[in-house]
Amino acid sequence: MTIATPDLAPTGEIARTRPEGGPVNILGVGVTPTDLDGALEQIDRWIHRRERQYVCVTGVHGVMESQRDEALRHIHNRAGMVTTDGMPLVWISRLKGHKRVRRVYGPDLMLACCERSVAPGHRHFLYGGAPGVAELLAERLVSRLPGLIIAGTWTPPFRPLSDSERIEITSRINAASPDIVWVGLSTPKQERWMAEIRDSLDAPVLIGVGAAFDFHAGLKRQAPRWVQHSGLEWLFRLMTEPRRLWRRYLSNNPRFIWSFLMQWLHIRHYDL
* Residue-averaged pLDDT of the chain: 90
Residue 225: per-residue pLDDT? 82
pLDDT higher for 225 or 141? 141
Q: For residue 19, is pLDDT > 60?
A: no
Q: For residue 149, is pLDDT > 90?
A: yes
Residue 208: per-residue pLDDT? 98
Closest by CA to 209, choosing from 71, 117, 108, 137, is: 108
Q: How confident is the model at residue 5 (pLDDT cuts 50, 70, 90)?
A: very low
Q: Which residues contact 232 (CB under 8 A, 6 or more apart)?
A: 223
Q: Which residues contact 170 (CB under 8 A, 6 or more apart)?
A: 197, 200, 201
Q: For residue 1, is pLDDT > 70?
A: no
pLDDT higher for 213 or 232? 213
Mean pLDDT over residues 234-238, rounded? Answer: 78
Per-residue pLDDT tens for 112-122?
Answer: 999 999 999 99
pLDDT higher for 230 or 104? 104
Residue 9: per-residue pLDDT? 36
For the whole prediction, is pTM greater than 0.85? Answer: yes
What residue type is assigned to position 225 of the chain?
R
Residue 75: per-residue pLDDT? 98
Residue 21: per-residue pLDDT? 60
Residue 216: per-residue pLDDT? 96
Q: For residue 15, is pLDDT > 80?
A: no
Mean pLDDT over residues 221-231, rounded? Answer: 81
How far is it, in rounded angstroms, from Cα 98 to Cα 78? 21
Q: How confident is the model at residue 31 (pLDDT cuts 50, 70, 90)?
A: very high
Per-residue pLDDT tens for 34-65?
Answer: 999 999 999 999 999 999 999 999 999 999 99
